[in-house]
Amino acid sequence: MLRRVLSAALASVLMALPARCVRRIIGSVTSGFSDESAVVRDEDNKLSGRTSERYDTTRDDHGTLVSINSADPGLLIGRK
């Protein structure tokens, strides 16, 4: 019961804050794979793409090359 009351109170406080004050996750990067790659996921935890440090490339979720000279996961975050 206390948890429900606290959750409702927190929700009302967050709703009162201006949108610029609320932080949200826009993507995540999981790295450390043996093939020197990283997996990029969007805010809904859906696959956005993959980077490869070995080949210095970035590919989207369909396998299309986004960059051939940079393994930058930031190129995939926010991309639709």
pLDDT tens for residues 53-79?
989 999 999 999 998 888 888 888 776
Instruction: Quote the pTM value.
Output: 0.62
Assess contact for 32 and 14: CB atoms under 8 A: no
Per-domain boundaries in the chain: 24-80
Q: How does pLDDT run across 3-48, given as a tens digit for each residue?
A: 554 565 556 655 665 666 567 777 889 998 888 899 999 888 889 9
CA separation for the pair 29, 14 (Å, rounded): 26
50 has a pLDDT exceeding 90 = yes
| Measured distance CA(41)–CA(76) in Å, rounded | 9
